[in-house]
Structure 1
Amino acid sequence: MASGRSRDDERAGAEIVYGSEACYRNSIELLEELGFPKGVLPLEELEECGRVRETGFVWMKQKTPYEHFFVKTNTRVSYTTEVTAYVEKFKMKKMTGVKSKQVFLWVPITEMSIEDPTSRKINFKTPMGIGKSFPITAFMTDEEKQKFLQKANAQNNS
C-alpha cells in the first residue's frame, strides 16, 4: 500500500455542509476565523464544503471551474471545481486547485499566508517557494475596507 493518506482518510471526521448558501456562509466564516479578507477566495456556486478540525484540512467544491480577475492586483486567478488546503491562523498551505496567471503561464498557488498581521500584506507562494505579496486591502470587500480604514484612522488619530 502506498504511503500517505487516502482521500477518504484525509476527510475522516469532517464537518460537511452542502448547498450554495450554507457553503458561502461557511467559507466566509472560515476566512474570518483564519484572519483573511472575505474576497481572497471568490468561489462561485459552491456545492460542498468540508473541514476536518483535527488536521486543518478543508475543501470547497463548486459546480464548474471559475476564473476571477483581481483588479487591485492586476491578477487573473483560476479555481478548479475543487479547492483544498490545510489551514491554521493566518495560513493556508498545501493548497490545490488554485492557479495564478503570470505573463503567459498558469502557476499553481500552494500557500497563502499573512506572516505579520501588522504588515497588512498577504503572501502567495508557488510549489517552488517563489512568491508575491499584495496589500490585504486588495482582497477586502467594500464593507471590510471601510471598517479597516476607520480602524486605521482611529489608531492614527489617537
Structure 2
Amino acid sequence: MSQQLIESHRENAEVYTDPVVCKQKTLQLLKEINMPNGLLPLEDIFEVGRNVETGFVWLKQKKAKEHKFKKIGKLVWYDTEVTAFVEDRRMKKVTGVKSKEILIWVALTDISITDPEGKKITFGTPTGISRSFPVSAFEEEEEKEEEKK
C-alpha cells in the first residue's frame, strides 16, 4: 500500500537516491520540521522523496531495522519503507514505524511536539492512544556515545 501512496505523490517530488545525500536529506527534513535529529535512525537509505506541495515524504532503506532509544528504554521498529505527511513539529499518517509495548508491536501513526516549550514529543497510535516522552531522548548525541564504546 505504501508503494501506491509513494507513486501517487512522486510527481512534483524531490527524489534522492545517493545514500550519502539520502542521510543528509533525512536530517535536513527533521530539522526543517523541528523534530529531534535522532527520530529516524535509519541505515542504508537508498531513496528519500519529498513532495513539498502535499507534505508527503518517504524513506526507503535496504532492510527493516530495530532501534532501542536507551534514555527511555523503548524498542522501535522501522520497516523498509517509512512514509508520512509532515508539517511543523508533526508527522501524521505515518506508516512503517512500530513501538514495542510489553509483548506486542504497536503501529505509530502520529508523532508531534505540541507542548509550547517543545520539550515533550507525543506518539499516537491508530486507536487514539498516545504516549509522551522527553524530546531529548530522540536526539542523535545518544548514538554518538554508543559508537565510542
Q: Is the structural similarity TM-score above 0.5?
A: yes
Asked if the contact 1:19–1:47 (Cα under 8 Å) also holds between the matched residues in 2, the reply is yes
Match of 2:17 in 1: 18
Match of 1:33 in 2: 32
Q: Which of structures 1 and 2 has the larger relative contact order (alpha carbons within 8 angstroms, sep 6+)? A: 2
| Letter paired with 2:72 | T
* CA distance in structure 1 between the aligned counterparts of 2:7 and 2:35, rounded to whole angstroms: 28
* CA distance in structure 2 between the aligned counterparts of 1:6 and 1:100, rounded to whole angstroms: 22
Distance 1:62 1:6, change over 3 A: closer
Match of 1:146 in 2: none
* CA distance in structure 2 between the aligned counterparts of 1:33 and 1:56, rounded to whole angstroms: 12
Q: Shift of residue 117 of structure 1?
A: 4.3
* CA distance in structure 2 between the aligned counterparts of 1:31 and 1:97, rounded to whole angstroms: 17
SS at match of 1:72: coil
Taking structure 2 as the reference length, the TM-score comes to: 0.89
Taking structure 1 as the reference length, the TM-score comes to: 0.84
Gaps of 5+ in 2: 143-149
* CA distance in structure 1 between the aligned counterparts of 2:68 and 2:128, rounded to whole angstroms: 23
When you count helix as a share of all residues, which structure comes out higher? Answer: 1
Q: Shift of residue 37 of structure 1?
A: 1.0
Runs (4 or more) in structure 1 with deviation over 3 Å come to none
| Letter paired with 1:37 | P
Q: How does 1:1-158 map to 2 (within 5 A)?
A: 7-142=6-141
Q: Shift of residue 12 of structure 1?
A: 1.7
* CA distance in structure 1 between the aligned counterparts of 2:25 and 2:82, rounded to whole angstroms: 14
Asked if the contact 1:45–1:63 (Cα under 8 Å) also holds between the matched residues in 2, the reply is yes
Asked if the contact 2:10–2:51 (Cα under 8 Å) also holds between the matched residues in 1, the reply is yes
* CA distance in structure 2 between the aligned counterparts of 1:7 and 1:67, rounded to whole angstroms: 23
Q: Shift of residue 7 of structure 1?
A: 4.3
Gaps of 5+ in 1: 144-158
Which has more radius of gyration?
1
Count of aligned pairs between the two proteins: 139
Q: Shift of residue 20 of structure 1?
A: 1.5
> Percent identity between the aligned chains?
48
Asked if the contact 1:11–1:57 (Cα under 8 Å) also holds between the matched residues in 2, the reply is no
Q: Shift of residue 72 of structure 1?
A: 0.8
Asked if the contact 1:46–1:60 (Cα under 8 Å) also holds between the matched residues in 2, the reply is yes
| Letter paired with 1:64 | K
